[in-house]
Amino acid sequence: MSIEKEQSPPADRGQAVGLIIFVLGLGTLLPWNFFMTASQYFNERLTTLPSNSSNVTATETKDYNYDTTETKDYNYDSWMALLSQMPLLLFTLLNSFLHQWVRERVRVSFSLVAIFILFSVTAAMVQVAMQPHTFFSLTMATIWFINMFSAVLQCSLFGMVGLFPLRYSTLFMSGQGLAGIFAALAMLFSILSNADKSSAALGYFITPCVATLGTLMCYLLLPHLEFARFYLNQSQTSETQQELITSTDQKALEASGDVVMKPEESQERSSVLNVFKKIWLMALCVTCVFAVTLSVFPVITVRVQTVYQDNSDWKKVFTCVCCFIVFNAFDLIGRSAPSLVQWPRKESALFPAAVFSRLLFIPLLMTCNVPNSKLTVLFTHDLAFVTIVALFAFTNGYLASLCMAYAPKLVRCKDCETAGSLMTFFLVLGLAVGASFSFLLGKLV
């Protein structure tokens, strides 16, 4: 039996497919990053003014439609993190069943349209006067649903991008890494604008609306490009072609030297439990990495203030620059570093030791310059905070990327997809654990 040689793929003209996949990666993490980076806006909007305040002008009250009632701490950062990760965890699991019943094109398109509508609602709420508790409830509901659709979107696009060569998966991950910087820069520009707070916030939330529409247009354009069609169509016929190769054909091919299939690759896929037994250490490590990160970022880091309180311009942009831009920039560098060096090795005991050593960042960040902190402030200078955040972010990106890269290498080729799904689940589990733990740490500071 003769087997036709694989058709060579067409060229990716102008790197159009690479650019589209990069934009798709950017679009998947925009919801989380825009709500996280807008921490200052939401906290100010939820901070009500005392009824006996005599220093509040009508203009200041109008900025965020404050009501002169009792002050209440809504703990926005912790609730935002928790209500972002819980639907992400739940729908990451449900998507493994959903993909069998609903086509990928429908899942992705519907999710992007829903995210666009929810971002539009968030932008509209900037101009609507409402009580803080009503605003808080609507915001939390929006965060829940927007991350629900984001989970379906992310899982669906991960599966699609996996059909392309490895370089395109890297581009997708790079796009995700830049989502945080994109949101932080959007916030920085809105802060530096001469508009009032309400108009600046409106412009900020209109930005992801436009970006989400751009992501949808890119996704709909992708199947019309010849290079993308080659890989997307190839995946639809691969299973059928593999079934045509019988065991007799395989022996003939082995004798002729055309195809050599390892005995272990001809076996069925291992059970989820058996795959987990091989990657449990990497799963534990990736859970720990993100649990540590979400336990203090952003709930603790956004509370740190500059030591230069007299410099009003620097004070205004300090959190945006030193917390969000620095974190996202060094996280992106950390994610990219494993392409140059991979240390410690996956077999080394130093690897889990390096992962668990990140627990030290929790007390380090909690003892930075947080006003009225219950703890002793050890690091007052801005440079100390920036250095800690930079190391914190770099180790987050670097160790998480190593975990995700090492896990598939511990199993057979046929079990790589199962290993990847398990690692994604434990990654999101780590985010949820960290978000839950942030409530306790927030009370301690």
Please tell me which residue, 161 or 116, carries the higher pLDDT value.
116
Instruction: Check residue 11 and give its pLDDT.
Output: 82
pLDDT, average across residues 416-443: 86
Place 218 in a pLDDT band, splitting at 50, 70 and 90.
Answer: very high
pLDDT, residue 161, reads: 79
Give the CATH number of domain 13-234.
Answer: 1.20.1250.20
pLDDT band for position 253 (50/70/90)?
very low
Task: Give 7-11 contacts, CB < 8 A, sequence gap 24+.
Answer: 7/230, 9/227, 9/230, 9/231, 10/226, 10/227, 10/230, 11/227
Banded pLDDT at 60 (limits 50, 70, 90)? very low
What is the residue-averaged pLDDT of the chain? 83
What pLDDT, on a 0 to 100 scale, did the predictor assign at position 99?
A: 63
Which tokens sit at 27? 């679009």
Indicate the domain borders of the chain: 13-234, 274-445
Q: Residue 87, preceding bond cis, omega within 30 degrees?
A: no
- Check residue 376 and report its DSSP letter: P
Report residue 211 as tokens.
């970006």
* Residues 149-171, mean pLDDT to the nearest whole number: 80
Between 445 and 116, the more confident residue is 116
Residue 50 reports pLDDT greater than 70: no
pLDDT for residue 49 = 47
pLDDT at 265 over 70: no
Choose between 264 and 351: higher pLDDT: 351
Q: What's the pLDDT band for 237 if we cut at 50, 70, 90?
A: low
Q: What is the pLDDT of residues 311-361, one digit of tens each?
A: 989 999 999 999 999 999 999 899 888 878 889 998 999 999 999 999 999
Q: What is the longest distance spanned by two Cα atoms in the chain?
A: 91
* pLDDT at 125 > cutoff 80: yes
Q: What dihedral angle (degrees, nearest 10) is formed by the CA atoms of 299, 303, 304, 308? A: 160
> What pLDDT shows up at residue 326?
97
State mean pLDDT over 423-432: 87
> Which ranges in 257-360 belong to alpha helices (H)?
272-296, 312-318, 326-336, 350-356
pLDDT above 70: residue 417: no
Mean pLDDT, residues 36-59 taken together: 66
Is 67 a residue whose pLDDT tops 60? no
d(C-alpha 145, C-alpha 140), whole Å? 9
Separation in Å, CA 214 to CA 22, 172, 341 = 12, 16, 34
pLDDT(158) > 80: no
Structure-token pair, residue 378: 């050890």
**What pLDDT shows up at residue 298?**
92
Q: In this prediction, what percent of the chain has a pLDDT beyond 90?
A: 47
Q: Is the pLDDT of residue 389 over 70?
A: yes
> Is residue 245's pLDDT more than 50?
no
Give the pLDDT score at 122: 94
pLDDT at 164 over 90: no
